[in-house]
A and B are shown apart, each in its own frame.
Chain A
Amino acid sequence: MTFLDLTLAVLVVSSFLCLYRIAKGPTAPDRTVAIDILGTLLVGFCCVFAILHKQDWFMNIAIVWAMMSFIGTIALAKYLQGRFYDE
């Protein structure tokens, strides 16, 4: 087991802690924050995966995932304030 495999294992454990909060979290904002954090963790996961396999295109997935996660978080925050997405 190399160092990068261990890195991926630790990131998976952190992701499961986020999934616990998504499953249990008593309010909707708890789940929203946990989804946001899960997306940020997966960006790091994709980048470590890229250097583990020396494949360039995993970085593209990471960049697009960061953008989509941001848009989703902003949309959910607008929904929590009871406003529509173009206000």
Chain B
Amino acid sequence: MSELLAYIVITVGLAFDVFGTVGLVRLPDIYNRVQAATKCVTLGTCFILLGVAIYAFGHGLGAMCVKALLCAAFVLLTSPVGAHAVARGAHVSGVQLWEGSVMDKYKDDFGQPEKELDDHER
């Protein structure tokens, strides 16, 4: 019973992971990619870890269950922080937005990116 529940939760997480990486490949610029990939893959990996914890709990592997929950909490805390830092670094280092973008609040607050880089400088 716990095995079936764990498999269902792991399947949901896998679906999130696959859609996140498809977004990473298909979307047009860095800011779109960062929001699609980070949100989907963080939630998907947390679901996988939750499924692993349920499976381990059902099979009497207590240490594995606790480690899976710890790992899920850590991923849930750190992955969005890293993505936010990378997105800000991209804007500061002068990566331009996609031409279909309609709004740039960061530029309104902190000004234009300092320089526009050539392709080989990025």
Contact = CB atoms under 8 A, between A and B. Distances in A.
Contacts of B106: none
B89 A56 contact: no
Interface residues of B, number: 51
Interface string B57-89: 001010110011011001100110111011111
B92 A81 contact: yes
B5 interface: no
A40 B41 contact: yes
> Which residue among B21, B37, B81 has the maximum number of chain A CB atoms within 10 Å of its CB?
B21
Interface in A51-81: 51, 54, 56, 59-60, 62-63, 66-67, 69-70, 73-74, 76-81
A37 B102 CA distance: 26
Interface residues of A, number: 48
Nearest to A63: B71
A59 B49 CA distance: 10
Given A43-B75, A44-B44, A56-B64, A37 B86 contact: no
B112 interface: no
A69 B81 CA distance: 12
Contact of B55 (A27, A36, A51): A51
Interface of B: 7, 10, 13-14, 17-18, 20-22, 24-25, 30, 33-34, 37-38, 41-42, 44-45, 48-49, 52, 55-56, 59, 61, 63-64, 67-68, 70-71, 74-75, 78-79, 81-83, 85-90, 92-93, 95, 119, 122
- Report, nearest first, the 6 A-B pairs whose CB atoms are least far apart: A80-B89, A29-B90, A77-B85, A73-B82, A59-B67, A70-B78
